[in-house]
Amino acid sequence: MESQEQLISILVYGIVFVVLLTTGLMLFFYHSRKKITEKELEKIELKLKNQEEILHATIATQEEERKRIAQDMHDAISSKLNVISLTTNLLLENDEIGTDDKKSLNHILSINNTVLESSRKIAHDLLPPILEKFGLKVALEELLDDYIKVSKLQILHTIENVPDLPDLEELHIFRIVQELINNALKHAKASQLNIELTRKINGFELSFTDNGKGFDPESLNFKTGLGLQNIKSRAAILKCTLEIKSSNNKGSTFRFNTK
Amino acid sequence: MDIKIAIADDELLFRQGLRAILSKQEDIKILFGASDGKDLIDQLNEASEKPEIIITDLKMPEMDGVEATKIIRETHPDIKVIALTSYFTKPFIVNMIAIGAVAYLAKNSTPALMVKTIREVHAKGFYYDEKVFEYIKDGASKGITNLKADSFNGTSLSKRELEVLELICQQLTTSEIGDKLHISPRTVEVHRNNLQIKTGVKNVAGLVIYAIQHNLVTFDKFY
């Protein structure tokens, strides 16, 4: 009888041991699995953050390069072209020069002026001097005026002065608007735009509406488009939320808000 | 009588070229050239013979033409500043004129236009071409040109004063205005002074901007 009781207690202990062991093992596996996923998530997050940082750095370098080239265009090219124009004009005033030579000189002058205009345009596209000198409000109004003049686009706009914006942030807002107008013209075939920049206590709000073709904001094609990636990155640098509303044939709205 | 001029531009070759063009004119005398705004102010303060007209580039190292113009307007209000630049766009022009420049020239203008501008400025105190007029008008409607004396609404100007103002805007000289209104040039000057006092502007160029901003003259009459 005693040995039977002994056997039962051994069995009970054995079962308890096995149960404890499995629970322990299960807990251990569960825990380490959780740790692994956590680590993996961390890794992915870090990777994303890195990618974002690289993207921001790329944009920053790109803007610096643009600025440098625009500066060089002005200092090394435009100012020398002005000297050519002046010197050619000086030669043209010389009465001893024959008609044929004068014709050539006038030819030089006219080509020179064309190059001067192109150089000015390229520099302007790279970095509008108005933005540097007169700030975001004047630069945006000038940009919109230019579009109104050269295209049939109807643009309603209210641009408020947003004080205390660092130069670089003004540049990002300017580029976002440039990109949005380009998209509205090229892809959405819009004929009417409404652009509003309002100052807020903690920053600004930018809203952009077009009456173009619209799109599905969830579509892969749209999400991976380079233009929108660029806008999103700039919004992230500006610490802005970006809200996009659009549907087919109903136009699109982009709203940026300082967080 | 020679028109005494000083030139400021950081591009030596451009300064030399401009000198060569202007020195061909018998009525123009170049007193000195400066390589930037600071150099210009220094030379201006030291000069025993002061220029009547300064032609200045806008973008220069050290001190740019905009800052230099602001200083000259304060220290030498009689000297007229002509802005010479490759930035021939609205905000730059409107801003320069609001600061007190009396004419605006593109750097690749023809020598004929440069000389004409200088002579007009010398004779009438300012010279704005059609485009500049358009920009001032546009800038006025958008409030870019914020000149002083905005509280004044122009109603207290006499009929004669308005006539003189209109002829000034048509870029006539004092004696031409006198001939047109059958009054002596001296009387024209009195009216002009009164206009400047009443509107609170510093010079004739200011009067023109004032007239455009307050719609005191009809725009199509300019040309």
- Nearest neighbour of A89 by CB, restricted to B13, B21, B144: B21
Separation in Å, CA A18 to CA A8, A25, A26, A48, A162 = 15, 10, 12, 44, 71
Residue A134 at interface with chain B, using a CB cutoff of 8 Å: yes
Q: Between chains, do B95 and A134 touch, taking CB under 8 Å as contact?
A: yes
The 10s digit of each residue's pLDDT in B201-210 is 777 877 887 7
Chain B residues inside the 8 Å CB shell of A148: none
Q: How many CB atoms lie within 10 A of CB B29?
A: 16
Looking at CA atoms only, how far is residue A171 from chain B in angstroms? Answer: 18
Least Cα distance to A126 among A84, A76, A172, A65 occurs for A65
Interchain pair B111, A89: CB under 8 A: yes
Architecture of domain B3-140: 3-Layer(aba) Sandwich (3.40)
Domain boundaries, chain A: 2-124, 129-258
* Residues in chain B, pLDDT under 70: 139-155, 218-223
**Residue of B89, B110, B142 with shortest CB distance to A89:** B110
Task: Write out pLDDT tens, residues A150-197.
Answer: 888 889 999 988 888 888 899 999 999 999 998 888 888 888 999 999
pLDDT digits (tens, 9 = 90+) for B133-177: 888 777 665 554 444 334 455 557 888 888 888 888 888 888 888
Tens digit of each residue's pLDDT (9 = 90 or more) over B124-136: 888 888 888 888 7
The per-residue pLDDT for A224 is 63
Which residues of chain A make contact with B89, given a CB cutoff of 8 A?
A: 130, 142
Burial of B12 (0-12, 13-18, 19+ CB in 10 A): exposed
Q: Please state, in angstroms and rounded to a whole number, the distance separating the CA atoms of residues A215 and A231.
A: 16
ipTM (interface predicted TM) = 0.74
Q: Yes or no: is domain B147-222 CATH 3.20.20.240? A: no
Q: Does A141 touch chain B (CB under 8 A)?
A: yes
B20 min Cα distance to partner chain A (Å): 8
- Reported in sequence order, the residue ranges of chain A that DSSP labels E, i.e. its strands, are 154-159, 192-200, 203-210, 240-246, 252-258
Using alpha carbons, select from B137, B135, B36, B120 the residue that is nearest to residue B80. B120
CATH H-level, domain A129-258: superfamily:
Histidine kinase-like ATPase, C-terminal domain (3.30.565.10)
Give the whole-angstrom CA distance, residue A12 versus residue A7. Answer: 9
Q: Which two tokens stand for residue B147?
A: 């000149």
Which structure tokens are listed for A52?
A: 């974002």
- Closest Cα of chain B to A195: distance in Å? 17
Q: What is the pLDDT of residues A63-103, one digit of tens each?
A: 999 999 998 998 889 989 999 999 999 898 888 888 899 99
Whether A220 shows a pLDDT value over 80: the answer reads no
CA angle A251, A256, A258 (to 5 degrees): 170
